[in-house]
Structure 1
Amino acid sequence: MPTNHLDPDADALLETARIINQSVSPAHLDSVRASLEYLYHGDGDVTPESLQDTTHCNLSTTESENIVYQLAVENIVTKDHINEPALRSAFTGARLLAAQAPEPENTIVATIPDDDALDAWMFEALHGNILELIRSAEDTLVLMSPFLSEDAYNRLRPALVTAADNGADITLITRYLTYGDEDYNREFVRAVLNDDRLAPQVTTYEYIDDSTWTTFHAKVVIADGVRAYLGTANLTHKGLGGNLELGVIFRDETAPRLTELVEALRASEYLHEVSLRRSQFNRL
């Protein structure tokens, strides 16, 4: 086995375990792990399709895509490399997650930078919890972030595809699409609206009063009106994996109240629906 690949860190292993736990029942974990090892050592053809064909637990296309993509992103299983200890750790973690007690009503989450003064385990990982929240959506999903980045889209895409495949209608609210000089938000939204798996279910808005420049700075993700993230992190590469960020995943009555806020915004004259035509953003 090649040894010139960095081992995934604790957060990467935890997120991989979460994705596996979401996709595979405890009874089939050993079978799926063995299938991945067999495919790699056989001909190296570890694809969502080959994983579906090899296992006998009726993995959906989305489930197999999520597993294979995550393993590749974290350099656990790629076309030219397999980290079998990390693979087994991720599947062990999935088994432990499946055996855990039900989640609490609310969870404090954080992005902890590489700072010797801070303990990465002080709070649950913000990135992983937002991905799990997005994947859980089956009816509606709201993403409200004043700043976005294309790197964040790459991180969020598998979870967004899962929500779309679940049938969720996705509302994206941001800034700086039809005005402003920075292109970060436009890169994220272009990637979403050019993605055939996502675009049909996405409605995009920008929130701005053109005369006073009143806008928003809230960062919110809401799934099905009953689970929500509220915190400091933008949906950017720094917000999800660099800056010190704090937030809360709400599963109590707070989530419906945040949903009411978003629904009220739909009547606001500051909220403008935006479309993408020939790479240009236009208000409808």
Structure 2
Amino acid sequence: MPDRNNEADIDVLLNGLSPLARQASRILAYLAEFPDGLGGSDAALSSRVGEVSAEHVAIARRSLLAAGLAMQVNFSTKLIATPETLRNLVENLKGIEAYLRSHTDRNVVELVLTEPGAKSTLRKAIDSLPGLSPIMFQTSDVFFRLARAAKRDLVVLAPFIDNQGADLLVELFSICRPGVHCHLVCRPLSEPQCGEAFLRRADDFRRIGVLVYEYALPSTLPSGRETFHAKVVLSDDDLFYVGSSNFMGSALDRSFECGVLVGGGAAKELSSVLEAVRSIAKPVRHY
């Protein structure tokens, strides 16, 4: 079957793949040499290409199918595009990558989701729609990325913590490199929706040297206090997550959660805000 060189479809493909131009160019360059590679699994192809994830391959596969450059045959994907077409696309993607390197926005924002259970109905519905699907589907993976990236400070705002969340917090703070200051801002440890799970792992938090702050102040508000509901993980003043996910099992892997990973000028602004939060919060000296 000949290529369907429809310019509109090609434009849609390039626009859809532009956020991962570097990875997509590697995948298409490999397929130009080894077209049968698309017939296997996403994981198998990603391991052959190198420096790309199975999710990157899945997005490239869906884009090729949507553009008419590949077709589904039973349970396998057959490449229709010629090597020449793929090489032209690779050059276009390299150009997009170069442009994005030299024309960066003040903030770089990536969508982060937690899927409500493995193989959820929501995930199937998202994957069935045209266009680029979110690249990051597990919020906890982003938390680990932030912990590993921290060079000076890792700051976590967590109003609600359960046992699974406390275990994750211990793991995140544990993987920080030596010398990184670990900060946890929470609601009062005297309250069960935060304190019970935290105190169960108190020895581990002490061993790591986590600096803990309780943010709940007397106020004239109808609730009688000033506190917080934000969920934030900040790595230095460079990169942060903000979204709906609490440090609770229901949020980490059983509910649909949505947030963003942001790098750029907004991280410096948020760093200042969180410094202000810690300045008015109550440091927990002994826990």
Q: Which residue of 1 aligns with 2:213?
A: 205
Among 171, 180, 184, which residue is 1:158 paired with?
171
Among 110, 117, 121, which residue is 1:116 paired with?
121
Query: Quick check: 1:239 aligned with 2:251?
Result: yes
RMSD (Å), alpha carbons:
3.2
Query: Quick check: 1:194 aligned with 2:189?
Result: no
Among 140, 146, 151, which residue is 1:138 paired with?
151
Query: Quick check: 1:96 aligned with 2:96?
Result: no
Query: Quick check: 1:256 aligned with 2:268?
Result: yes
Q: Which residue of 2 aligns with 1:14?
A: none
Deviation, 1:200, is 4.6
C-alpha separation in 2, matches of 1:155 and 1:94: 32
CA contact (8 A) 1:106 1:251 kept: yes
Which structure has the highest helix share of the two? 2
Taking a change above 3 Å as real, the CA distance of residues 158 and 267 of structure 1, as seen in their structure-2 partners, is closer
Letter in 2 for 1:275: R
Deviation, 1:156, is 4.2
SS of the equivalent of 2:184 reads strand
Identity of aligned residues (%): 24
Deviation, 1:94, is 11
C-alpha separation in 2, matches of 1:221 and 1:116: 28
Deviations 1:118-166 (A, max 9, x none): 4476421222111111222121010001111221232343332111x43
Deviation, 1:213, is 2.0
Letter in 2 for 1:116: T
Query: Quick check: 1:173 aligned with 2:128?
Result: no
Stretches of structure 2 that go unaligned for 5 or more consecutive residues are 1-42, 57-96, 102-106, 128-132
Deviation, 1:230, is 0.7
TM-score (norm 1): 0.56
C-alpha separation in 2, matches of 1:245 and 1:239: 7
TM-score (norm 2): 0.55
SS of the equivalent of 1:186 reads helix
C-alpha separation in 1, matches of 2:238 and 2:250: 27
Q: Which residue of 2 aligns with 1:276?
A: 286
Stretches of structure 1 that go unaligned for 5 or more consecutive residues are 1-87, 278-284
SS of the equivalent of 1:276 reads coil
| Matched residue count | 183
Q: Which residue of 1 aligns with 2:240?
A: 228
Q: Which residue of 1 aligns with 2:228?
A: 216
Query: Quick check: 1:107 aligned with 2:104?
Result: no
SS of the equivalent of 2:211 reads strand
SS of the equivalent of 2:51 reads helix
Letter in 1 for 2:142: N
C-alpha separation in 2, matches of 1:94 and 1:148: 40
Letter in 2 for 1:272: K
Q: For the pair shown, which has the larger CA radius of gyration, 1 or 2?
A: 2
Deviation, 1:232, is 0.8
